[in-house]
Structure 1
Amino acid sequence: MSFVDFPFLKYLANTVDIILVWYVIYKIFTIIRGTKAVQLLNGIFVILIIKMLSDYFQLQTLGWMMQQVIQWGALALIIIFQGELRRALEQLGRGKFFSRSVVQEHELQQQLVESIVKAVDYMAKRRIGALITIERETGMSDYIETGIALDSKISSELLINIFIPNTPLHDGAVIIQKTNIAAAACYLPLSESPFISKELGTRHRAALGISEVTDSLTVVVSEETGSISITKNGDLHRELKLDAFRDMLSSALITPSTKQTTTSKWSWKGKKNE
């Protein structure tokens, strides 16, 4: 008696087979998404449609041409998609093919943290004022609309260039959504708390203001002193060292299973920053 003699097991095997095939197809599409392979796949679908139409309407010459294209297409696909195929095989060899989404998300979070840290370190050393707000659970569309829309992938170079003095976008806040810079030159609400030190400047008051009405994380670089500050949930921590700053960003932005902890305390004290 073989496996196929049991109808239920045969049905279950066919179901699992279909699910696995669709899952593999889905993972392949996630790998090629955002690459030139997407446009090439559109071309392949067009060729297949033309072949079916030529067979239906008995267009022999056109059908023969499409048949030749399809016949040699497998070799052409290997040559055209060699980069994507190599990347897929590398992920399969590292055991990351079926867990790519989780791994990619973690890598993007790390890239976000490192891009911000690198940009802030550069600006702090040169006393370039900056105000960077990172959206979390609470939406910030209303504040994004007050600025100039960018919708750009984040990089330290782009962040630095935005805050260079006397450039069109340097005045105001940059708002980051996920791993993209949504907008620059945005207006944030100033905190009206009576407990805020009068030594605090406009950037810090704006950073505190947005932290009081959203769960965002806001980074401030002082133009006067070059000190680094973070606001979160209405709290302010000033004059952070670079390592402590990186730890705080990682703790807030990287997933709980991999985030780093910090022993720093939130403080209101310090010298005046803008």
Structure 2
Amino acid sequence: MKSLDFDFLNITWIDAIDVALVAVLIYYIYSLIRNTLAVNLVLGMVIIVLVYYIVKGLHMELLEAIINKFMSVGILALVIIFQPEIRRFLLHIGKSTFLQKNKAWWGYLFGNKSAEQDNLLRIKPIVDACKSMKKTRTGALMVFVKYYDDEYFNNSCEMIDSKISKRLLESIFQKHSPLHDGAVVISENKIKSASCILPLTDNDKLPAQFGLRHRAGIGVSESTDAVAVIISEETGEIAYAKQGRVRMNVSFGELEKLLNKDF
């Protein structure tokens, strides 16, 4: 009797690392596309692949040829269809590097010991403005991006490029201000632009009470690496949107921690 060959079960530590890295990559990609339109796109592509193999098995040559032509441009189609997700994926990799995660330590070593304190000081006028607008129930949408994309924002915004100020934020969102409609974009420790028209989310599972501000804040967090702070005009409640997910009824303490972490 021939002995069975179990060489394929000889797993080395390199194989274990390989499997672990692939698992981390799959989870990372899933966390980026979760609750976004990309999930529907992936599902659609899986259905097309399944239909292709069914058609091929049934020898339906005409339909097989059509689907095969569609699939032959797979890589190019993936780049075009998933361009926002790929861009966000690369940005997240850049932000997750050792140097980025430990920049406070590098700043300490090279003399910038008060980096975190400076960051809290920059966030304070934003939180103070939110306190004031919550009290007066002034609707507001503030978008925070680490890297300002001129092509993405400039077409629909009024450029400001000013120092972050509580009074300036309050005056922009004051109901009779010509700039109160739309979003304020904050980046590089400045109020870069105001009255920005942003894409709305297509998520149909959001609560009915979400208005245009909430849908725009969620939408921009889906398509870019931005986070959004939304203040409801009806209730004064503060919401925080990131990666297409929204946290409701955020306290001022939570808001300060979230902005300090993400911005």
Please tell me the TM-score bracket, short chain as reference: 0.5 to 0.7
Following superposition, the deviation at residue 235 of structure 1 comes to: 0.6
**Match in the other structure for 2:155:** 145
Report which of the two has the higher share of helix: 2
Asked whether the equivalents of residues 131 and 221 of structure 1 are also in contact (C-alpha less than 8 Å), the reply is: yes
Aligned to 2:212: 202
* Residue equivalent to 2:131: 121
**Are residues 199 and 98 of structure 1, via their aligned partners in 2, closer, same or farther at CA, if it must alter by over 3 Å?**
closer
Secondary structure of 2:142 counterpart: strand
Instruction: Give the partner amino acid of 2:169.
Output: L
Please list, as runs of the form range in 1=range in 2, the aligned pairs for 1:62-141 lying within 5 A after superposition.
99-100=110-111, 102-103=112-113, 105-137=115-147, 139=149, 141=151
> What is the match of residue 166 of structure 1?
176
- Whether the 8 Å contact between 1:136 and 1:217 is mirrored in structure 2 is no
Report the Cα offset of residue 98 of structure 1: 8.4
Answer yes or no: is the 8 Å Cα contact 1:146–1:186 preserved in 2: yes
Q: Which amino acid aligns with 1:210?
A: V
Structure showing greater radius of gyration is 1
Deviations 1:1-45 (A, max 9, x none): xxxxxxxxxxxxxxxxxxxxxxxxxxxxxxxxxxxxxxxxxxxxx
**How many correspondences in the alignment?**
157
Query: What amino acid sits opposite 1:221 in the alignment?
Result: I
Determine which structure has greater relative contact order: mean sequence separation of CA pairs < 8 Å that are 6+ residues apart, divided by chain length.
2
Aligned to 1:247: 257
Q: CA offset at residue 195 of structure 1?
A: 2.0
Unaligned runs of 5+ in 2: 1-106
Equivalent residue in structure 1 for 2:247, among 229, 237, 246: 237
Partner residue, 2:192: 182
Q: TM-score, normalised by structure 2?
A: 0.55
**Residue 215 in structure 1 maps to residue 259 in structure 2:** no
Q: Are residues 162 and 138 of structure 1, via their aligned partners in 2, closer, same or farther at CA, if it must alter by over 3 Å?
A: closer
**Match status 1:225 vs 2:235:** yes
Normalised TM-score (structure 1): 0.53
Which 5+ residue runs of structure 1 have no aligned equivalent? 1-95, 254-274
- Cα distance in structure 1, aligned partners of 2:162 and 2:147: 20
Could you say what secondary structure the match of 2:156 adopts? coil
Q: For 1:195 and 1:138, how far apart are their aligned partners in 2?
A: 30
Identity across aligned pairs (percent)?
33
- Which residue, 149, 153, 164 being the options, matches 1:154? 164
Where 1:182 maps in the other structure, the secondary structure is: strand
- Letter matched to residue 215 of structure 2: R
